[in-house]
Amino acid sequence: MTATQVSGWPLRRIVVAGGGTAGWMAAAAIARTLGPAVELTLVESDDIGTIGVGESTIPPLVAYNRLLGINEAEFMRATQATFKLGIQFDNWRIPGEGYFHSFGSTGTDHWSAGFQHFWLDARQRGLAGSYEEYCLELKAAHAAKFAHLPDDRMNYAYQLDSGLYARFLRKMAEGDGARRVEGRIATVELNGESGNIAALTLDGGMRIEGDVFLDCTGFRALLIEGALHAGFDDWSQYLPCDSAIAAQTSSVGPSVPFTRATAHDAGWQWRIPLQHRTGNGIVYCSGYLDQDAALERFLGALKGERLTEPNVIRFTTGARRKQWHRNCIAIGLSGGFMEPLESTSIHLIQRAVLRFLRMLPLREISERDVAEFNDQQMTDMLQIRDFLILHYKATDRRDSAFWRYCAAMAIPDSLAQKIELFRETGRVFRKNEELFAENSWVQVMLGQGIIPRSWHPIATKLRDEEIARLLDTISRNVDQTIASLPAHADYVASYCCARQTATANAA
């Protein structure tokens, strides 16, 4: 596509308000997709910091990077990334107990029923090991091993430095024609007739006009809320944590291919291993733990030398009611916030950017597109919200006021249906391209102590020797594959070691 071909395109001036991960993910995708057909301007200020704690991701980012033609090894070197096979959850059901949410499939499904049905029936017969024995990604994570396998048999994501990712994408976007303007947004100018955003005025007086504006201003939501008042749905009654403290430390050992989420009496803590350092944070509810106590607890649990000062973050979990309103689209935190428990923040940026590109208007903004965009974005966030609530609600912890609140709190009907359906039948149904796979729901529900009372009758069809042979074959294949894998840290060092790049640059 050339600029000449779209010379009559009246909405070709796209302005991205704000940088960071959201702004540069949007700019890179737009510039790479449309090139000179669009006049793309990104406005950001070096004086405004970013949240910058989004270091743990989920598998769709692999596809996003491939879509943009990004070389994986180059990207991982630039962002000091490691591989991620899932999340280790400790102390969530009860203190002292843990489980793993992997990105892979467990066992082998039948078209009529998932593997969990066969496992449940075999377990009742005394023929099954733990559910974890039959998942390649899970056992590889525990063994701290990784490699790319033929046919993409290993599902993975990344643990990365989000600030470096934004820098990497900026270089790419500017190479594809994006223009960056330095400055702080002072005012948002509206068109008196249409009510659309007409321009952004910066502190120095520069005026940036546009046809379509992407709000990547984070929690401030300067455009979508500050100027257009799109509204916000507060979900803190379901997800009561409202504060976090983050800091980076030096690495104290070889990196492992998973993130750790450890519950405490008023929330949880994370640990994310990168190549050059470890990301750490504590998430808590300020109604049950004050900031000073949270900071003391956080600092006391750190391993390695602290490299940054603690960054205190306040948030309200929820979603913007209209994430596309008039000629403004919210991307990232300006559209809402899901606490980082399942690493979905960067994914929601990705979904909004790709959805916007698919619905990009030519001559005028279609209200039907706007309605569909908002419906799809809200569906994504509601489904993620329910998955997060599950971790808090399905618990046997009663050892603190926080956990007693979580156990007793009312939950959305959509989640209650999913929990009770699984409890009664072992079944999980997903709707509308739902992000988390059936196996994700199964792993977390089993890990949180929800054990089905029944399962699909097809599992009873297999004789003892048949089900035993099936399970043994799956487990043996998993173990054989893992035995052939290199250590995760060794594979990262040979495939995408950032130190090699640093050494080469210094030379």
Q: Report pLDDT for 433.
A: 81
Q: H-type helices in 176-278, by residue range? A: none
Task: Assign residue 199 the CATH number of its domain.
Answer: 3.50.50.60
Alpha carbons 487 and 144: distance in angstroms, whole number: 6
User: Taking CA 374 as the corner, what is the angle to CA 368 and CA 377, rounded to the nearest 5 degrees?
Assistant: 140
Alpha carbons 338 and 325: distance in angstroms, whole number: 21
Tokens describing residue 50: 């970013």
What are φ and ψ of residue 400, in 5° steps?
-150, 160
Q: Report pLDDT for 162.
A: 94
Q: Collapse the DSSP code of 324 into the 3-class scheme (helix H, G, I; strand E, B; otherwise coil) and give the result.
A: strand
Does residue 67 lie within any of the structural domains?
Answer: no
Query: 313, 53 in Cβ contact below 8 A?
Result: yes
Polymer length of the chain: 507
Query: 393, 406 in Cβ contact below 8 A?
Result: yes
Does residue 355 lie within any of the structural domains?
Answer: yes
pLDDT (tens digit, 9 = 90+) per residue, 445-490? 999 999 999 999 999 999 999 999 999 999 999 999 999 999 999 9
Within a 10 A sphere around the Cβ of 300, how many other Cβ atoms? 7
Domain count, the chain: 1
Sign of CA dihedral 182, 176, 326, 11: positive
Q: Report pLDDT for 506.
A: 35
Q: Report pLDDT for 432.
A: 76
Whole-model pTM: value is 0.94
Q: Report pLDDT for 246.
A: 96
Label residue 482 exposed, middle or buried (CB < 10 Å: 0-12, 13-18, 19+).
middle
Does residue 375 lie within any of the structural domains?
Answer: no
Q: H-type helices in 184-335, by residue range? A: 291-301
Does residue 423 lie within any of the structural domains?
Answer: no
Tell how strand 318-320 and strand 336-337 pair up: antiparallel
List the domain range (segments joined by +) for residue 221.
4-55+161-235+317-365
Q: Report pLDDT for 499.
A: 67
Does residue 415 lie within any of the structural domains?
Answer: no
Tokens describing residue 34: 């449309």
Does residue 31 lie within any of the structural domains?
Answer: yes
Q: Report pLDDT for 500.
A: 44
Does residue 268 lie within any of the structural domains?
Answer: no
Q: Report pLDDT for 10.
A: 83
Query: 157, 342 in Cβ contact below 8 A?
Result: no
User: In the block, which residue shows the tokens 């072992």?
Assistant: 426
Q: Report pLDDT for 137.
A: 98
Of 110, 108, 90, 109, the C-alpha closest to 100 is 90
User: Taking CA 402 as the corner, what is the angle to CA 398 and CA 404, rounded to the nearest 5 degrees?
Assistant: 35
Q: Report pLDDT for 484.
A: 97
Profile the chain (507 residues) by mean pLDDT over runs of 10 residues: 55 95 97 95 86 79 97 98 98 98 94 96 97 98 97 95 96 98 97 96 96 97 98 98 97 96 98 96 98 98 95 96 98 95 96 96 92 97 98 98 98 98 96 90 98 97 96 97 98 88 36
Task: Give the DSSP H or E segment for 198.
Answer: strand 197-202
Distances in Å between the Cα of 435 and the Cα atoms of 352, 396, 417, 425 are: 14, 27, 18, 22
Tokens describing residue 416: 């209650």
Does residue 69 lie within any of the structural domains?
Answer: no
